[in-house]
Amino acid sequence: MASRRSLLVVFVLSLIAVSPATSLTCSTQKLTNSNLYSACLDLPTLGSSLHYSYDAANSSAAVAYVATPSKSGGWVSWALNPSGTKMVGSQALIAFRDSSTGAMAVKTYNISSYGPVQESKISFEVWDMAAEENTTDGTMKIYAKIKVPGDASKLNQVWQVGPSVTDGTPDKHDFGSGNMNAMGTLDLVAGQTVATSGGSRTKKKNIHGILNVISWGIMFPVGVIIARYLRAFPSADPAWFYLHVLCQVSAYIIGVSGWGTGLKLGSESSGIVYSTHRNLGITLFCIATVQIFALLVRPKKDHKYRFYWNIYHHGIGYAIVILGILNVFKGYNILRPGEKWKSGYIILIAILGGIALFLEVVTCIVVLNRPDKTTKPYDGYTNNGQSRQEPLAP
Ligand SMILES: *[C@@H]1O[C@H](CO)[C@@H](O)[C@H](O)[C@H]1NC(C)=O
Ligand SMILES: *[C@@H]1O[C@H](CO)[C@@H](O)[C@H](O)[C@H]1NC(C)=O
Ligand SMILES: *[C@@H]1O[C@H](CO)[C@@H](O)[C@H](O)[C@H]1NC(C)=O
C-alpha cells in the first residue's frame, strides 16, 4: 500500500529531522561581578541575553543585558514597560559609545511615543548603571540595579538594538521580525531557581520538541490523510479505519506526553512566558481530547445525526492539524534548534502536502469511475453500499 510506505518514510524522515538543539547560552558569557546574577536567559530575538537576580527584601533587581548593536557604532537597549507590552511606555536603558567623551554611556529614556527618543527620567529608581563594549566581538553590556515596579513575577520587558547614534541620540532601529518581536514577560522570582540547570533544561526542551513534532506535527496530519484518502478505495475498507484510529490514538498519547513536558517546562520557566505557544498547546490538548472521546458517542452510520457528527469530527480534525503545525513552528522559533531542523520539517510538511494533493486527484478519479456515481468519496466509513459491522459502534 503506497500510503503505508509513505507513512514509514515520513516517520524515518521525522526522526532524522529532529535532533538536539544548539543554542547560544548566556551561561558562557563573561560579566563584571558575575556573582551578582543568579539567573540568565537567552532572549528569543536579536541574540540578546539577560542576567539577573532579584532581592525580594529590597524589591530590587540586579540586571546585566548583553547584545550586539546591529552595526558597529550603534546602541543596545533593555527596558521594563510598566504600562504595556510594547515599546511605547517602556522605561528604557540605552547604552552606546558617547562620541563627545569616547567612553561607553548608559542613559535612561521614558519612551512615550514612536519617534526620536530623548534622555529623561524614568518611572523607577535605577542605580549602579554601567556600560561596556567588547571591541573584539562588538557586544555591549548594560549593568544596572532597579527598584522593581509592581509584581516581580510578572513584568513586561522589551529589548532592542540599533545601528547608529547621531549627536548623542540613538537613531531608530530596524523593523525586522527580530526587532518587532523583542518583547516578553519576565518573571524575576521564578527565574531564580533555574540558574544552574541550563543543561538538563535544554535536554527537556529537546524531548518536548521531538515528542510534539512527531505527534502534532506529523502523526495527526498523516492520520487525516489516511482517513480522507484511503477510504475511497473499497479494498482498503475497513483497514483505513483501524489505521486512522491507531495513528490518531498513538499521536494523542505521544502528544499528551509532549504536552505534559511543555507544562513542566512552563511551570519552571526561566522567567519568560511564551503565551501564544502555551495557549495553542492547551487549546490543542483540549480539542484533541474532545476528539478522542467523541469516538465513543459516534452515532451509527445510518443515524440521522451521523451527518452532523461527521461535519463536527472533520472540522475539529482539520483544526487540530492546522493549529498543531502552527504550534510546531512557534516551538521551532522558541527552541531555535538551527535552520536545518526547521527546513527539514518544512520539507516534510511539503511532502505530506504533495502526497495529499496526489491522493486527492487519484481518489477523485477512483470515485468518478465507480459504476455507482452517487456515492460521495468522503461521507464516512463503508461508503460503497455494502452493509458492514461498525468496528467501534457501541
Ligand atoms: C535597596 O534599594 C535602594 C533604593 O530604593 C538602594 O539605594 C539600595 O542600595 C538597595 N539595597 C541593596 C542592598 O541593594
Ligand atoms: C513619561 O512620559 C509619559 C508621557 O509623556 C508621562 O505621562 C510620564 O509622566 C513620564 N514619566 C516620567 C517618569 O517622567
Ligand atoms: C571579548 O570577546 C572575545 C570574543 O568573544 C572574548 O574572547 C573575550 O574574552 C571578550 N573580552 C572580554 C573582556 O569579555
* CATH number of the domain within which 314 lies: 1.20.120.1770
Domain boundary residue, one of 196, 223, 254: 196
Is 123 a pocket residue for ligand 2 (Cβ < 6 Å)?
yes
Q: Which of 132, 141, 130, 129 is nearest to 66 (CA)?
A: 141
Q: Structural domain of residue 120, as residue ranges?
A: 21-196
- What's the average model confidence in pLDDT over 100-111? 93
Q: What is the pLDDT of residues 170-187, one digit of tens each?
A: 999 998 888 888 888 888
Query: Do 239 and 183 fall into the same domain?
Result: no
Query: Do 66 and 134 fall into the same domain?
Result: yes
Counting Cβ atoms within 10 Å, is residue 378 exposed (0-12), middle (13-18) or buried (19+)? middle
Query: Do 171 and 248 fall into the same domain?
Result: no
Is 135 a pocket residue for ligand 3 (Cβ < 6 Å)?
no
Is 122 a pocket residue for ligand 2 (Cβ < 6 Å)?
yes
Nearest ligand 1 atom to the CA of 147 is 5
Query: Do 206 and 345 fall into the same domain?
Result: yes
CA of residue 112 to ligand 2 center, whole Å: 7
Q: Which of 106, 75, 49 is nearest to 174 (CA)?
A: 75
Task: Please report whether residue 375 resides in a domain.
Answer: no
Q: Three-state DSSP class for 169?
A: strand
Nearest ligand 2 atom to the CA of 120 is 14
Is 134 a pocket residue for ligand 3 (Cβ < 6 Å)?
yes
> pLDDT at position 197, please?
37
Q: What is the C-alpha end-to-end distance of the chain, expressed in Å?
A: 30
> pLDDT at position 258, please?
94
Is 136 a pocket residue for ligand 3 (Cβ < 6 Å)?
yes
Is 58 a pocket residue for ligand 1 (Cβ < 6 Å)?
yes
Q: Among the ranges 27-31, 161-165, 236-240, 300-304, which has the highest mean pLDDT value?
A: 161-165
Task: Please report whether residue 374 resides in a domain.
Answer: no
Altogether, the residues listed in the chain come to a count of 394
Query: Do 183 and 308 fall into the same domain?
Result: no
**Minimal-distance CA residue to ligand 1 atom 10:** 58
DSSP assignment of 343-355, as one string? HHHHHHHHHHHHH
Ligand whose nearest atom lies closest to the CA of 113: 2
pLDDT surpassing 90 at residue 301? no
Query: Do 289 and 158 fall into the same domain?
Result: no
Q: Three-state DSSP class for 293?
A: helix
Q: What are phi and psi of 280, to 5 degrees?
A: -60, -40
Ligand whose nearest atom lies closest to the CA of 53: 1
Query: Do 108 and 213 fall into the same domain?
Result: no
Query: Do 33 and 176 fall into the same domain?
Result: yes
**Minimal-distance CA residue to ligand 1 atom 2:** 58
CA distance 180 to 65: 18
Contact criterion met (CB below 8 Å) for 170 and 200: no
Q: How many CA atoms does the CB half-sphere of 183 hold within 13 Å?
A: 17
Domain boundary residue, one of 196, 231, 264: 196
Please give the model's pTM, rounded to 2 decimal places.
0.54
pLDDT surpassing 50 at residue 340? yes
Task: Please report whether residue 388 resides in a domain.
Answer: no
Task: Please report whether residue 383 resides in a domain.
Answer: no
**Minimal-distance CA residue to ligand 3 atom 10:** 134
* 326 backbone φψ class: left, alpha, beta (φ>0; ψ -120 to 50): alpha
CATH number at residue 123: 2.60.40
Residues in binding site for heme b: 208, 244, 277, 313
Is 112 a pocket residue for ligand 3 (Cβ < 6 Å)?
no
Task: Please report whether residue 377 resides in a domain.
Answer: no
CA of residue 381 to ligand 2 center, whole Å: 65
Task: Please report whether residue 353 resides in a domain.
Answer: yes
Is 113 a pocket residue for ligand 3 (Cβ < 6 Å)?
no
Number of independent structural domains in the chain: 2
**Minimal-distance CA residue to ligand 2 atom 3:** 112
State CA 372 to chain mean position distance: 48
Query: Do 221 and 350 fall into the same domain?
Result: yes
Who's near 58: CB < 8 A, 6+ residues apart? none
Query: Do 46 and 172 fall into the same domain?
Result: yes
Domain boundary residue, one of 144, 170, 196: 196
Q: Among the ranges 8-17, 201-210, 261-270, 333-342, which has the highest mean pLDDT value?
A: 201-210
- Grid cell at residue 193: 531557581
Please, what is the average pLDDT of the chain? 82
Which residue has cell 558562557? Answer: 28
- Grid cell at residue 328: 510546531
Q: Three-state DSSP class for 324?
A: helix
Ligand whose nearest atom lies closest to the CA of 144: 1
Ligand whose nearest atom lies closest to the CA of 127: 1
Query: Do 94 and 160 fall into the same domain?
Result: yes
Task: Please report whether residue 380 resides in a domain.
Answer: no
Is 112 a pocket residue for ligand 2 (Cβ < 6 Å)?
yes
Task: Please report whether residue 254 resides in a domain.
Answer: yes
Query: Do 181 and 205 fall into the same domain?
Result: no
Is 53 a pocket residue for ligand 1 (Cβ < 6 Å)?
no
Q: Three-state DSSP class for 314?
A: helix
pLDDT surpassing 50 at residue 125? yes
Residue of 220 and 300 predicted with greater confidence: 220
